[in-house]
Every structure is written in C-alpha cells, then in structure tokens.
Amino acid sequence: MQRIDEDHETRRPSPRLPPDLPTSLNDRRSVPEYLGAETEVYDAWSGQSQFLTTPIPSRPLNFNLALDDADPSHDDDDLAAHRLEDNDSRLVQMLASQARLKDDVSTAGEDAVLADTSLEDAEKKETLQGMFTMAASNGEIDRVQMFLKAPFREWIDVDAADAEGTPPLIYASCFGHHEVVSILLAAGAKVDRQDKNQWSSLMWAMTNRHKGIAKLLLDHGANPDVKSSTGRTAHDFLAPNSEMSEYLHESGYNIGSAGVTDDWYNAGLSEDRFEQEMAENDLKRKMMMESAFNLEVDLGNLGLDEQPDSPYDAEDSQEFVWDRCLNDQMFVFQETELGRILDIIISNMTPQRSPSQKPVPANILFLSARYAHYYQSADLLEKLLYSAMDKINEVVESHQWDMTILAFWMSNVTLLLHYLKKDGGLGQATVQYQLLLAELINEIFILIIRDAERRMDKVLDAAMLEHETIPGFEDVHFQNEWRIFRSKPKVKAPEPYEKRYRPPSPKRRAQVSPRNITSLLSSTLFVLDLYDIHSVITSQILSQLLYWVGAELFNRVMSNRKYLARTKAMQIRMNISTLEDWARTNNRQPEHYENGSMTSTGETTAEAARRHMEPVVQLLQWLQCFSSLGEDFEALVGTIQQMPRLTPQQLIHSVKYYRAEVGEKGLPKSAMKYLTELEHEFTERRKQQRKRESNSHLQTNDTAPMTPTKPDSSNYFPPSPNSPRPPSRTAGDEEAPENLLMDPALMLPFSLPTSTDMLVSYGAGFGGLNRERERRYIPTVPPEFLQRFDTGGGKQTTGSYDVKPWE
C-alpha cells in the first residue's frame, strides 16, 4: 500500500482544464458570461420589440497556439527532451557537444599521454578515449586508424560515449565522415547504438542527407525501426520522394516513399526541398551573371532564361541498341542536303544548356554517321565526318575568346568520340576520325586555357602581388634607399577596434584582390560544369591554370627586386593562401579508373594547387627566413632541404637582390660560399644526367614516359657540420627548372578520358544505378529541334530528306 502511495505521489499531475470549458452535456448556462447587459426597445415603425446588447471591450486570447505549449507542472528534463525533437535544435546541440569535446581533450599528444607514468589507468583511458572521439568527430582518418592499433587499442572502446552521451560512430555519421564510419564499423562498433536522446547513427545520417553513410549503415545491419525518445524511427526522417529516399530505394532498401506513386495527386516539393532548390537557383543565377561579366560572354549562351526539361520526357524513351542499327535509331538524310544540315547544327548553332539541347550536334552527327555507315557508303561517311570537323574548326577559330562556345563544342566533340567508340560498327570504321577528334579536343583545351590565362593576366599583379592583406607595412624602411624627396607620412591615430574588425566597406571590396583571381577560376569552372565537360578534362584545365598562376608569380617575384623583401613575401604568401583555400573548397576528383579499379584515381584540385604553388611558396618562405639564419650552418642546411623545388641558382639570386630592411642582417659569406659550391655540384650533376640520357637514347629507341617519376627522397642525406660538403639534391632535381625562371607557357601532359571513364561518366555507372544520367546521354533529337529541318516553309513543297525520330 505504501508503494502505491509513492507511485501516486511521483506520478505527474494531469494539466488543469480551463474553468469555462464544459465538462458534460448537463453543464449548460442560460446566460453566457461573456455577453453584456441587454435592453428592450419598442420600434413603432416595425411594430415589434428589439433587444440591444451593450458592447463589451475586447479581451486578448489567454491561450497559447504553439505546438510545444508546455505545462508548468512538467519537469525541465521532459521539456528539454520534447523541444530537442526538432532536427535543427538537435544539430546545434551536436555542434556544441563537438566544441565542448575539443575543449575537454588534453592538448598533449597521445604518445605523451600513453607514456605519462603519473596518470592512473582510469585517467589515461579517459584522456585517450576523448582524443579518439574527437578524431572521429573531426574526420581524422589517420588518427582513428592509429588509435585502433597497438599500443592504443587496449585503451579504446569504440562504443564508449562521451560526457554528452554520444559515441564516436554517431559523431562521424552526423558530420558526414564516410571513411571514419567505415573504419569504426570494421572495428566492431555497434551500428544501432543511440545517444542520450535515443537517436541512432542512421537517424543522424538521414537527417543531414549523408546518402553514402546511410547506405553503409544499412549494409552493416542498421535497424531502421529503432525508435527515438519520442517514438520516431528512421522512416520519419525521409521526406516523401526525396533524393535520399530514391537513393536508398535504388540501393535495395524500401525506406521512405520512393517507388510508391500517388493515384492522382502530386504533392510537389517539400518545404525544405523547395527552399533548397530556390537557394540553388539563386546561386546559379548569380554565378551566371558573374561568369558573363568575368568571361565577357553572351548571357544568353549561359541559358539564363531557359526552362529545364520535363523529367517525364526522358522516361518515355526506349532503350538504345548499340551493337546494331535499327530503323528508328538513325538520322536519314540526302547527300545534297548535307551542307545545309551541317550549317544548322554547327555553323548557326548557339550554345544551349538544357539537358536535351546541349548534345544535339553530337547526337545528330552520330545518328547521321550510323545511317551513312550501315545503309549507305563509306564515301558518304567520310564526307560527313570531314565536313563536320571542318565546320567545327571554323566555329572554334572564329570564337577563340568566347569560352561558352569553346566549352559547348568540347562537350559535343567528346560525346561524339564516345558514341563512335561505343558503337560496334562505327568504332572500327572511324579510327582515323577518332584521332582527328582527339586532336580537336586538345586544340579546344588549349584555347580555353589561353582565354582564362589572358583574363587573369590583366589583374594578376594587382590581385596577388600588390594587394596588402596584412595592414601596417607601409612604414617599413629598406637599406640603401634614398628618401630625400619623399614627404614624411603623417602620424595616424590608431584605428578603433570596431572599425578594425568590421566587414570591409563596398569601396574596399571593389578593389582588386585575390578574389578577382578566384572569381575568374570559379567562372571558368562554372562554364565547364554548365556544358558537362568530362571531369578528367576539367581537372586538367584547373591544374594547367594553377600551374600558370604559380609560374607567373614565381617569375614576377624573381624578376622584380621590389618583391624580394621579407614583408612583401609575407603579403604575397597570404594572398596565395586565398588561392589554396579556393582549391580546397572546389576540390574536384577526376572520374578516372585504372587497371579495372572501381575507385576513381587522379590528382585532385587541392593536390594540383599544392604541387604547382610549391616553387613560389618555397621561394617566399626562403625570403622570410634566410636573414634570420645567421651563422647557424645546420639551420641553413635544414632549411635548404625543405625547399627541393628551388635550385641553388635561384637561392643565390634571391639573396643577391634581396631588399633588406633597416637593421636586418643578410646571409653571411660562409653561407654564400656554401650555396656557390652547391650550385657547382648541381650543374655538374645536370651535365652528367644529360650525357647519360643522350647515350641511352642512342642505344635504345624507347620513348620516355610522359609523366616523370620522382626519385626516392630517402637517398637525400644532409651534410655534417664538420664537413660542409654540398648535399645531394636528387629529390628535387627532376622537378626544379633548369633556368632561373619557370616556363609559364609549358603545357602539362594532356590525356583524354579513357573508354572506361566515358562509359562510367556517360552511363549508369558501376552497378547500373544511375539510370537518369544514362538516359541523359542517349543519342536522341528533340522534336522541337527537328522543326528546323522542315524544308517546306512556303518555298519548297517536297522534303529533300527524311527524319526518323525515335523518341
């Protein structure tokens, strides 16, 4: 009986009902309390009485319309749990937990913690566990793998929750670290482990739209029916017909409403998806305007006012047969009308960006080639392809400075090359034409590069060399510089803190800065993406542009004594960091597959930026540090070893023409003597290497590989202080330029996408999951475009050629 009383006391009291709310049918009031007094008045005109009610002042509503109206009798924990059901609130809480986790983790290294004998085992395990959780939360793959190996593995529990009740797997799933999630699952992490709010890793992955992580969790047995603290499951986190739902449905998981069609009603976009699409369209519109301004192209070529194609049009098309030519899968024409057809699809063709209009020239040329090869003669096929390539060359040459037209034709020529290789009969009959198409792609590639370089060259000095990111260097004085006729600068009052940290004004924002260079790169990348340039070609274009920027900056710093100064080197280095940040933000991985691998390989944009900026970055680092080395020979040797992309000649030149500040010491004579000896050894080794290459060339006729292989850096030994012998610089000899300056006009090796790359990028991908992309690259001709070939028009009464659309 006592236990029942205790339960009754701890039970939450029911909320109190409003006093004016009827509780039964017998609860009736003859006169409403809210009505005022009534007065009876006799109307002689109508012969009857009327009742007048005295008006009462209006009263505000005394109830809350909010969905989370909390009763004051509820305890704080239940109220917090109820409010945290909102996804955004939960994400904010996760971010706060991540920040607190970072503050709680010890600043000492994990090796130091493991070797610290003053710590007890419990403290050591708690510290290492916090480091492991933070590494998983930040996506540090190498550190997570390290913690899961000896000697740290015995101190780590992959399922242990932090102070906020969140295990590492949930952190990695929430913040989109796919590789970390895979490593944790392989280490035995429980896939259905929940946080303090009973959210699982699958719920977090679906909430933040991490498709790959959601599929990975489901592949490892994640239960979508696990309930949160409010009874919601993973099914409740998917919007109807969302991209995540469709992806999981195509992957074999019947979660959400993908594949379930409405009988007659289309609900349209959800509110979140609608706002996201509106934001994407607004961003795309801004990029179009910025690209039109930066690249000086016609705004109409960017398709500002074009409407997207209907998603139902592509679904009605039949499957294309590649191993034989069907009657409705070719473009029938007469030889006499060939010139007019090519004028319509090539000479008079304006770039289009809608999915069905962009590949029209490639589609018509390929379908025409099928008709000429399978049903006509080889002469007609030769005439068709040669005439088409001549007209494309004419269009490209006449629009060398219009990047939209260049990108449009590079896309179509690449797609046409893919079509010819994929077709069984045309693949063997058009080998020589495929070589000509490859050369044409290379020519367009060079023209796009030159156009972008020409535009960046106009602002390169002002944006990267003259722009001052760090204020306060205006009053720096240099040695041996006369300042007689220069006016003494006025002493300026210190700038208030509120002005120092406020956002830049529109006037300052309009000045030339590194953003001008990154804006031109973004505009170029936007145009390439707009016309579906293959990712292998796009990555090479960005790599070539980054090489040109790095080489030009290197040459201009070396050639102008104005920039050979410590303060200037600091400013330029800060400007280059803006370029590196852009490369990391727009990091592109080319879809290139080698040796049957299903994982794409190739140099990313961030890696290309790091490689091509290394010479100028190392030069700027040398300018900032060599004056402080003094007589420390070991520091000099160690500094030179960290700069393998610089030759001794370049090091000596930068020291000889260096602008030293007042009171700044230069490089001592002993160090200059060491650099001179290093240069002599470097020159002799170059001569011997050339001699060996010439002898080997005379003995064998084998060609050298296009991409040079870097020698192993393990052969690089520093000299001892007792014997100042110049160190061998074999690690950098292959990469360092022979002359003092670099060659900005050097074209890096260009390679076309392989047949495998094109099959993956223009098809459904591995496993055949991306059917939508495959339908987009089926050679078809839109019905509205076929009207251009109508030869009637009141002038001719008979069609000179037959068109057989097969959509």
- Whether 554 and 744 have beta carbons less than 8 Å apart is answered as no
Report the distance separating Cα 381 and Cα 338, nearest Å. Answer: 11
pLDDT value for 540: 95
- Whether 627 and 665 have beta carbons less than 8 Å apart is answered as yes
Report the distance separating Cα 509 and Cα 218, nearest Å. Answer: 48
Report the distance separating Cα 247 and Cα 332, nearest Å. Answer: 39
pLDDT value for 47: 60
R_g over Cα of the chain: 36
Report the distance separating Cα 464 and Cα 575, nearest Å. Answer: 6
Structure tokens belonging to residue 353: 């960006």
What are the residue ranges in the chain where pLDDT is below 50?
Answer: 1-4, 6-10, 31-35, 63, 65-85, 257-269, 304-316, 702-735, 792-807
pLDDT value for 487: 54
| pLDDT tens digits along 109-124 | 777 888 787 888 888 8
pLDDT value for 694: 75
Torsion angle, CA of 291/292/296/300, rounded to 10 degrees?
Answer: 140
Torsion angle, CA of 508/514/517/520, rounded to 10 degrees?
Answer: -50
Residue 611's alpha-carbon distances to 260, 518, 616, 644, 700, in angstroms, are: 50, 18, 10, 12, 32
Per-residue HEC secondary structure of 145-205 comes to HHHCCCCCHHHCCCCCCCCCCCCHHHHHHHCCCHHHHHHHHHCCCCCCCECCCCCEHHHHH
289 CB contacts (<8 Å, ≥6 apart)?
299, 304
* SS3 of residue 533 by DSSP: coil
Q: What are phi and psi of 227, to 5 degrees?
A: -100, 145
- What is the pTM assigned to this prediction? 0.59
| Run of H or E including 42 | strand 38-43
Quick one: residue 604, left, alpha or beta (phi over 0 = left, psi -120 to 50 = alpha)?
beta
The packing angle between helices 403-422 and 378-398, to 10°, is 160
pLDDT value for 74: 45
* Nearest residue to 686 via CA among 658, 648, 652: 648
* Nearest residue to 471 via CA among 516, 517, 508: 508
Summarize the chain as % helix, strand, coil (round to 5): 55, 0, 45
